[in-house]
Amino acid sequence: MKELSVVIPCYNEAPRIGMTLLSVLTYLDHHIPSYEVICVNDGSTDATDNIISSFATVNPKVRIYNHERNYGKGAAVKTGLLIAKSDTILIIDADHSVPITTLDTALDMFPEPFGVIKGQREPGEFPLFRRVTHRLYHAIVRLMFGLRMDTQCPFTLLRLPGKLYLDLQCDGFSYDVELLVSAQQHGITIGSLNVEYRQVKGSKVTFTKAAKMLIELIDIKVRSIEEPTPLM
């Protein structure tokens, strides 16, 4: 792989984003000849902006884009996808819960010319509430869309037609499902990869947000019934 754009959505990630950037940049410097790291600051109210900016000041490969307010994780990811310079894009979380070294294996199995590699976690690693909501959510996703995978794993390597990114509408946590459903509708290969997952304190998944994700799934389902927009 000669070039890569890494997209990291960020919301109040001051305690974690610094160490994540250090790890990601160190790895990319040794493995990817041409890369950029795009941090989309989704209206953070802590020092997230300042920390990312300190990296961007000394390293031109780090880019920061600030949302004026908190629009949601899906909105932050879409911004990153639209401004990415490379056709090959990796989406990861700001907590670095899936090691960047996972990219070694993912690149070896990456399909051509378009495709998606989605990381897969072991649910037993989650706390009880997360484990229950994880299983329930993915049972619903399988029933509604036929996607038999961990759609919410924070490791997504993709190369898709740019028009597909423009059509994304989910601003919340279920953006992964919309992205995968859209790829599926257009006959794009979706692969999976078992990953090491490190549970990090400070999860933003709550009962209220889990309920909102179910509402997002209904909206995605309604829109997916329509004829997919041609990509060319």
Tens digit of each residue's pLDDT (9 = 90 or more) over 207-228: 788 889 999 999 999 999 886 6
> Could you give the 3-state DSSP secondary structure of residue 10?
strand
β-bridge mates for residue 21, sequence order = none
Domain-located, residue 232: no
pLDDT at 132: 85
Domain-located, residue 231: no
- Order the strands of the 62-67 sheet from edge to edge: 62-67, 34-42, 3-10, 89-92, 155-159, 115-120, 190-194
β-bridge mates for residue 120, sequence order = 194
Domain-located, residue 112: yes
- For 157, list phi and psi in degrees, rounded to 5: -105, 130
pLDDT at 217: 97
Return the higher-pLDDT residue of 110 and 226: 110
Specify the number of domains making up the chain: 1
pLDDT at 128: 79
Domain-located, residue 230: no
H helical segments located in the chain = 17-31, 48-58, 73-83, 103-108, 128-145, 162-166, 175-185, 207-224
Domain that holds residue 80: 3-224
The model's pTM is: 0.94
pLDDT at 112: 82
Return the higher-pLDDT residue of 122 and 9: 9
Two structure tokens written together for 2: 């000669």
pLDDT at 230: 66
Burial (CB < 10 A; 0-12, 13-18, 19+), residue 32, is buried
Domain-located, residue 19: yes
- What share of the chain has pLDDT > 70, as a percent? 94
> Could you give the 3-state DSSP secondary structure of residue 5?
strand
pLDDT at 202 over 80: no
Return the higher-pLDDT residue of 11 and 112: 11
Instruction: Answer left, alpha or beta for residue 2, where phi above 0 means left and psi between -120 and 50 means alpha.
Output: alpha
Two structure tokens written together for 77: 């990811």
Strands (E), the chain: 3-10, 34-42, 62-67, 89-92, 115-120, 155-159, 190-194
What's 164's domain CATH number? 3.90.550.10
Cα–Cα distance, 108 to 73 (Å, whole number): 28
Residue 42 contacts residue 75 (beta carbons within 8 Å): yes
